Structure 1
Amino acid sequence: RRWASLGSDCLHIIDLDGAIQGVRVNAPILERMVEELDLFIQVGGGIRTRQDVVSLLETGVDRVIMGTAALERPEMVQELSEEFGSSRIMVALDVKKGRVTTEGWQRTLNQQAVVLGQLFQEMGAGSILFTNIDVEGQQRGIDIVPTRELVQALRIPVVAAGGVSTLADVFSLREARAAGAVVGTAIYTGRMNFLEALQALKRKEEVVRY
């Protein structure tokens, strides 16, 4: 409700308990949020099966973020994109030291984000959520290089997360042609003023829906 009152029209939710445990333990809370908030809501974390995705979409979630499930069964991305539309299916690529991780960042794969991004693009994913774990939550700023490389390699939108802590970071990502930026720690700690950031983006006409 707070973010909606400040002018937000999109809410990004990651169920960290679900991501680690592999079960959507916070489903009741999410259902209440969908019911009570008039916002575009995208959700990830703990999504392991096709039914998990279907249940979320039927609950009223606007977009589902697939991570481990997509990496284990890439064909499921294609099936769901064809059934529900690619705009409702986002694939998360969480990268640590250049390698994609899975299961709530607990397991590292011998795969690079660009290669997997191209795979999921062909499978019909509507967008990619790229998280740079190396700088996530540290409020030290972003590392623009891996994000730029992924954006340049793909035709579908790439939303960046990890280290976004100032308005300058957000503008750097826009210059790199990222479709959006996920800001968490910085706004909860007060380092970035959400309302000021939103107003600055609107002045530059850079608030878009991907």
Structure 2
Amino acid sequence: MRFEVIPAIDLKGGKCVQLVQGVKEDVLLSLDDPLEVAGMWIDEGAETLHIIDLDGAFGEMSENRRIVYDILRLAGQKGVKTQVGGGIRTLEDAKGLLERGADRIIVATAALRNPDFIRMLVESFAPERVMVALDARSGEVQVEGWTRGSGRSPPELAQLFESLGAGWILFTNIDVEGLMQGIILDPIVEILSAVNIPVLVAGGITTLEDIDLVKHSGASGVILGSALYRGKISLVEALKMVE
């Protein structure tokens, strides 16, 4: 499997934003035209886009769905894959996104509330289209848009969701998310040791060296956010490095 370098497009209030450590009030950056941002990453060679409806993730009414659909349409026209998350709580939510062109759906809170939801998604759509997001702070997976602890560790939950048929895990280390201080490798290695399905990594990736470390740890790809938007990493260079 080819190592993936995936730009993040996080949507809040109709804009493309980057948050610090997932705190919804702590907006590091805000861009008015998410579709233009998606087009820019596609032009720079992105093969997959990571699209998150933050308002949906925080359980709020979302005005971002139309923008998500617009990005899915653009990506489809350009032959670029997409993975979408944030507020996917029902089979209908998932079906609507997949029918509009999403390649993978990302589920977090709903999976923790009802693990069997993952089995239902897998049976309805296929394992490779179902990704579970495990977002950890101090070694504990968080839910409800990173506002509440679950009492469970990432390796434990990764094994559970693999057993229920999930095709992917997305691991985010909130402790370093958005801080631009580099990754912490140990929790990544722990989760990789726990499962056999592909794992994508997010949180703290600040340099090309960080990407290289994640790649050599055995992960299947990285999600790039703050470092990309602040010019610390060039998407073109990152894609070239992992070829």
Identify the TM-score tier after normalising by the shorter chain: over 0.9
Contact conserved, 1:22 with 1:47, CA < 8 A, in 2?
A: no
Deviation at 1:7, TM superposition (A): 1.1
Structure having the higher strand fraction is 2
1:91 offset after TM fit, Å?
0.1
For 2:201, what is the secondary structure of its paired residue? Answer: strand
Which runs of at least 4 in structure 1 moved beyond 2 Å after TM superposition? 21-25
Q: Point out which structure has higher relative CO (alpha carbons under 8 A, 6+ apart).
A: 2
Per the alignment, residue 209 of structure 2 pairs with 168
In structure 1, distance between residues paired with 2:241 and 2:117 = 39
Which residue matches 1:116?
157
Describe the shift of the 1:23–1:90 C-alpha distance in structure 2 as closer, same or farther (beyond 3 A).
farther
How far 1:195 sits from its partner (Å)?
A: 0.9
2:67 aligns with 29
Q: Where in structure 2 are there 5+ consecutive unaligned residues? A: 1-38
Among candidates 38, 48, 71, match of residue 89 of structure 2: 48
Q: Shift of the alpha carbon at 1:17?
A: 1.3
Q: CA deviation at 1:73?
A: 1.1
Conservation of the 8 A alpha-carbon contact between 1:18 and 1:46: yes
2:196 aligned with 1:155 = yes
Higher helix proportion (structure 1 or 2): 1
Matched, 1:126 2:167: yes
Query: Deviation of residue 21 (structure 1)?
Result: 2.5
The secondary structure found in structure 1 opposite 2:175 is: helix
Q: Which moved more, 1:190-199 or 1:23-32?
A: 23-32
Question: Is the contact between residue 139 and residue 186 of structure 1 (CA under 8 Å) also seen in structure 2?
Answer: yes
Identical residues among aligned pairs (%):
44
Distance 1:118 1:88 in 2: 18
Taking the aligned partners of 2:234 and 2:67, their CA distance within structure 1 comes to: 26
Q: CA deviation at 1:25?
A: 3.2
Per the alignment, residue 81 of structure 1 pairs with 122
**Bigger CA drift: 51-60 or 90-99?**
51-60
TM-score (norm 1): 0.93
Compute the TM-score of the two structures, normalised by the length of structure 2: 0.81
Aligned residue identity for 2:147: Q
What's 2:8 paired with?
A: none
- Separation in structure 2 between the aligned mates of residue 25 and residue 160 of structure 1, nearest angstrom: 27
**For the residues of structure 1 that align with 2:219 and 2:184, how far apart are their CA atoms?**
13
- Compute the RMSD of aligned alpha carbons: 1.0
Residue 53 of structure 2: which of 3, 11, 15 is its match? 15
Give 1:86 deviation, angstroms: 0.4
Out of 133, 143, 146, the position equivalent to 2:187 is 146
Alignment of 1:85-100 (within 5 A): 85-100=126-141
Contact 1:23 1:46 in 2 (8 A): no
The alpha-carbon deviation at position 69 of structure 1 amounts to 0.7
Compute the displacement of 1:22 (Å): 4.5
Describe the SS at the equivalent of 1:92: strand
Task: For 1:201 and 1:75, locate their aligned partners in 2 and report how far apart those are by CA, in whole Å.
Answer: 36
Asked whether the 8 Å contact 1:24–1:45 carries over to 2, the reply is: no
Change (3 A) 1:65 1:85: same
Counterpart AA for 1:173: V
Distance 1:140 1:12, change over 3 A: same
